[in-house]
A and B are shown apart, each in its own frame.
Chain A
Amino acid sequence: MTTAVQPSRRTRPSVIAHKPYRRSKRRSKTLTLLTSLVAIYSLIPLAWLVINATKTQQGLQSSFGLWFANGKFALFDNIRDTFTYQDGVFLRWFANTVLYVVVGAGGATFLATLAGYGLAKFNFPGKRAVFATVIGAVAVPGTALAVPTFLMFSKMGLTNTPWSVIIPSLISPFGLYLMWTFSAQAIPDEMLEAARIDGAGEFRTFFRVSVPLLGPGIVTVLLFTMVATWNNYFLPLIMLKDPNWYPLTIGINSWNDQAATVDGQAVFNLVITGSLLTILPLLAAFLFLQRYWQSGLAAGSVKE
């Protein structure tokens, strides 16, 4: 389990670390074909989304779902309309989502990193209680907490403000767990001892010595908490009434529901284009940061 810990990354080209371990194995066409079926299953809805973002509201109804509509290629019109519809409220939702992600996921990652490091590298009174409480509470369905949290927050005057979405996002038990196992493996005790002998305080040691070693773990937790906050639906649904504070998920769904209301305008082309614009940033983040989160997950993975 001490494999793939990071310091080697800088001195060796990473290709070596990812080298397939059994070069002698023959590749199998059958196995590749079977796995391709799962890959196709994963991609079809995304392909559907991209294709249909190029259609007008009329084109959506009159053309085959997995092919482009005859006539107008409306992608750019759709994008423009998505951003300008209802006085550009989409942009506002986008900004809200970014705010919730930066403060919520950023804060969650920071808290989880501090606490995971504390659990892995210190022996303190109450450690077992912390362990038991966090593990026990994780099994409580998160959405079951939503109603009492809503009632508490409404008494504190926090509902319908960004805080009502941000504060609950600050806790990521999965992030804590990952940073805990990761810190235990990636930071040698000797390095901490050496820093302490040199007279560095605990926080200085943490930021100077430990954080650089925790890089891949931090990126991994950041990505997963980003997904959790970016994709959050239930929490903002109950906390927010004012459309000006909606994140993208709630906003897009409100456009979708609009078609079912009396004299509501059907804007499915904007729902689809808005959905595409919503998922692009996250897909891009996962693709570009692949190397980090994959090594972070591997090193933090559950061991026997």
Chain B
Amino acid sequence: MALPQVAAPPGVRRRRRSWKGWQFVGPFMLVFALVFLAPIAYSIYLSLYKNRLIGGNSFVGLDNYRQALHDSQFWSAFGRVALFLAVQVPIMLVLALLVALAIDSGRLHGKAFFRVTIFLPYAVPAVVATLMWGFMYGSQFGLVGNINDALHTSLPDPLGSRLLLASIGNIVTWEFVGYNMLIFYSALRVVPTSLYESAEIDGAGQFRIVRAIKLPAIRGALVIATIFSVIGSFQLFNEPAILRPLARNVITTGYTPNMYAYSLSFSGQQYNYAATVAIIMGVITMVIAYVVQLRGAREI
């Protein structure tokens, strides 16, 4: 299962119910209420109101939501992250899974080296990662420019309108392949090796062992990694926002839903509508995360 069941650990049933546990859980829940629950409640409140020049703050019911349903800018931003999700997440997770299986297979020379090296980019801030790749993409003193000069080629501009989303996908993949690899690898390590041994004695090949034993055994990790990646894709902000000075005409202020919500509130002062956009994205994310979990519980 993807998540620990509340009553799962053995011995719990023997314990008497008492309020003592709250001494430990209370402080977390207090701060959690302040930085998670209160803002959620507040944005629901905001989304039901409108601030007009004349008449001030007034209750408008679901008007903001109706407006969002017909907002082509919002839906084009949404379509962009949906496309990103559909292409980048599978590439990244499959790559991470392949590396994890390779390291776990015990057939690599220097597996500790690979495990650490491939994980390192995770420790690099998104700002630094994006700045680095942005410099490298650049046609001025970037690698693409260098290669064009040296070989007299004309590689397509990674910051042009056609390739930009793929270039962002590359940055995100670079940042998180190692992180996901580590989640898969940690899960693979706790699979009892006796399972592999008996499968081998039965004459199962490596691919069969991967399909029949390893993948089902790390189903929980696969579900968690997929959910985190879905959430991450829908929240896409840092990479396009930091690349923006390099490609101002391609990356509009409403390039992703999050950038849209950001520009609505901080340059447009439309806090109510920004909250509505945020809630719609939150609901869509939750629904997809839920579906992933349901499917993951049944099969891979």
Please encode chain B, from 168 to 195, with 1 for each CB lying within 8 Å of some chain A CB and 0 for all others.
0000001001100011001101100100
In the bound complex, CA of A22 to CA of B107 (Å): 9
| Interface locus among A7-15, A70-78, A79-87, A126-134 | A126-134
Name the one of B32, B120, B224 contacting A302, with C-beta atoms under 8 angstroms.
B224
Given A61-B141, A278-B125, residue A167 in contact with residue B108 (CB < 8 A): no
Let me know if A265 is at the binding interface, CB within 8 A.
no
Interchain CA distance A249-B135 in the complex, whole Å: 16
B contact residues around A206 at 8 Å (CB): 24
Q: 1/0 per position for B101-141, CB-CB distance to A under 8 A?
A: 01101111110011111111111111111011101100011
A119 and B235 CA atoms in complex are apart in Å by 29
Query: Once the chains bind, are B231 and A135 in contact (CB under 8 Å)?
Result: no
Would you call A118 an interface residue if the criterion is a C-beta within 8 Å of the partner chain's C-beta atoms? yes
For A283, what are the chain B residues with a Cβ–Cβ distance below 8 Å?
Answer: 120, 123-124
For the complex, what is the distance from the CA of A120 to the CA of B10, rounded to whole Å? 10
Once A249-B125, A286-B119 are accepted as A-B contacts, the answer to whether A233 and B17 lie under 8 Å apart by CB is no
Q: A303: which of B109, B220, B279 is its contact (CB, 8 Å)?
A: B220
For residue B52, CB closer than 8 A to chain A, the reply is no
B196 part of interface (Cβ distance < 8 Å): yes
Enumerate chain B residues within 8 angstroms of A145, measured Cβ to Cβ. 35-36, 39-40, 43, 278
Residue B85 at the chain A interface, CB threshold 8 Å: no
Is there contact, CB below 8 Å, between A140 and B9? no
Residue B271 is within 8 A (CB to CB) of chain A in the complex: yes
Which B residues are CB-close (under 8 A) to A46?
A: 120-121, 124
Contact B286 A140 (CB under 8 A): yes
Are B274 and A147 in contact, CB atoms less than 8 angstroms apart? yes
- Asked whether B118 lies within 8 Å of A303 as measured between CB atoms, the reply is no
Give the residues in chain A near B87, CB-CB below 8 Å.
none
Best-surrounded residue of A28, A45, A125, A150 (most CB of chain B within 10 A): A45
- Of all chain B residues, the one with the shortest Cβ separation from A134 is B32
Establish whether residues B42 and A148, one from each chain, have CB atoms under 8 Å apart when the complex forms.
yes
- Tell yes or no: B300 within 8 A of A by CB: no
Chain A residues within 8 Å of B31, by CB: 111, 167, 170-171
Flag if A124 contacts B245 (CB, 8 Å). Answer: no
* A140 and B285 contact, CB distance less than 8 A: yes
Q: Is the interface of A mostly helix, strand, loop or mixed?
A: helix
In this complex, the member of B12, B15, B32, B261 whose beta carbon has the largest number of chain A beta carbons within 10 angstroms is B32
A257's nearest neighbour on chain B, judged by CB, is B245
Beta-carbon contact of B142 and A65 below 8 Å: yes
- Chain A residues, CB < 8 A from B36: 137, 140, 145, 171
Instruction: Give residues of chain A (36-70) contacting chain B, Cβ–Cβ below 8 Å.
Output: 36, 38-39, 41-43, 45-46, 48-49, 52, 60-66
Tell me the complex Cα distance, A122–B25, Å.
10
Tell me how far the C-beta of A106 lies from the nearest C-beta in chain B, rounded to whole angstroms.
Answer: 14
Asked whether, in the complex, the Cβ of B123 is within 8 Å of the Cβ of A118, the reply is: no
Whether B250 sits at the interface, judged by CB under 8 Å, is no
Q: Using Cβ atoms and an 8 Å threshold, which residues of chain A touch B12?
A: 123
CB-nearest residue of chain B relative to A107?
A: B31
- Is B295 located at the chain interface by the 8 A CB criterion? no
In the bound assembly, the distance between CA atoms of A154 and B71 in angstroms comes to 29
A147-B43 contact given A130-B29, A180-B4, A287-B116, CB 8 Å threshold: yes
Contact B131 A271 (CB under 8 A): yes
Interface membership of B282, Cβ < 8 A: yes
B238 beta carbon closer than 8 Å to chain A: yes
Query: B116 touching A118 by the CB < 8 A rule?
Result: no
Determine which of B2, B106, B221, B234 lies in contact with A141 in the assembled complex, contact meaning CB atoms within 8 Å: B234
Contact of B35 among A135, A171, A248, A300 (CB under 8 A): A171
Assess whether B62 is interfacial by the CB under 8 Å rule. no
Give the residues from 235 to 256 in chain B that come closer than 8 angstroms, CB to CB, to chain A.
235, 237-238, 242, 245
Contact of A42 among B120, B216, B219, B258 (CB under 8 A): B120
B15, B99, B117, B141: the one contacting A65 at CB < 8 Å is B141
Known contacts A48-B132, A147-B274, A249-B125; decide if A21 and B18 are in contact (CB<8 Å): no
The answer, yes or no, to whether A260 is at the interface (CB within 8 Å) is yes
Taking CB atoms, residues of chain A closer than 8 Å to B35 are 145, 149, 167-168, 170-171
**A278–B21 Cα gap in the complex (Å)?**
40
A80 to B41, CA, bound (A): 48
- Quick check: B18 and A231 within 8 Å, CB to CB? no
State which of B121, B143, B274, B279 has its C-beta within 8 Å of the C-beta of A66: B143
Q: Mark A25-39, 1 if CB is under 8 A from B, else 0.
A: 111110110111011
Contacts of B69 in A (CB 8 A): none
Q: Which residues of the other chain, A, contact B105 by a CB distance below 8 angstroms?
A: 25, 31
Residues in chain B near residue A297, CB distance under 8 A:
182-183, 186
Q: Tell me the complex Cα distance, A118–B25, Å.
A: 6
* A142 cross-chain contacts in B, Cβ below 8 A: 235
The reply on B37 being an interface residue by CB < 8 A is: yes
- 16 chain-A/chain-B pairs, Cβ below 8 angstroms: A35-B108, A38-B95, A38-B99, A48-B132, A115-B25, A122-B15, A124-B19, A127-B25, A144-B261, A147-B43, A147-B275, A148-B39, A176-B28, A177-B3, A189-B14, A189-B15
Question: Nearest 6 CB-CB pairs, A to B?
Answer: A118-B24, A122-B21, A124-B21, A115-B28, A231-B125, A302-B220
Seed contacts A48-B136, A177-B3, A184-B8; 13 additional CB < 8 Å A-B pairs: A27-B108, A31-B107, A38-B114, A121-B21, A124-B25, A141-B282, A145-B35, A151-B271, A184-B4, A189-B14, A279-B128, A287-B116, A297-B182
